[in-house]
Amino acid sequence: MLRTGVDIVHVPRFARLMDNPAFLAKVFHPSEQKKHDAQHLAGLFAAKEAFFKAIDDGPRWLDIEIKKKATGRPMIVMTGALKDAITECDLSISHDHEYAIAHVVLVTR
């Protein structure tokens, strides 16, 4: 089944959340936090939100990790049951000043 999800994040609003270490640890893998920049992390947050909208399930933040392919294109790395349930996953993230947006397209079994 083809599934899609999209999310948009207001970067200044998201920047206020970055002062909360518990929030960052709950949502982002250490590798995702290496670039401690509001616009970057807002994009990753939008990607995760879009992913969970696509699978129509509540967020299990650390079950997915946003990485970059050798080309620089973002990708989602899944663990456990998610990896078994999803056969294809495509991700696009874009930033424009105060906004970050992400779109996910999935094919599920």
Q: Annotated catalytic, 97? A: no
- What pLDDT digit, counting tens, does each position of 15-27 carry? 999 999 999 999 9
Q: Is 53 a catalytic residue?
A: yes
Residue-range domain boundaries for the chain = 2-108
Share of the chain above pLDDT 90, in %: 90
Which of 10, 40, 67, 95 is labelled catalytic? Answer: 95
Residue-level pLDDT at 57? 87
Task: Encode pLDDT of 61-104 as tens digits.
Answer: 999 999 999 999 999 999 988 988 999 999 999 999 999 999 99
Determine which one of 53, 67, 97, 103 is catalytic.
53
Q: Which residues, 6 or more positions from 45, have their beta carbon under 8 angstroms from its beta carbon?
A: 7, 9, 14, 27, 100
CATH number of 2-108: 3.90.470.20
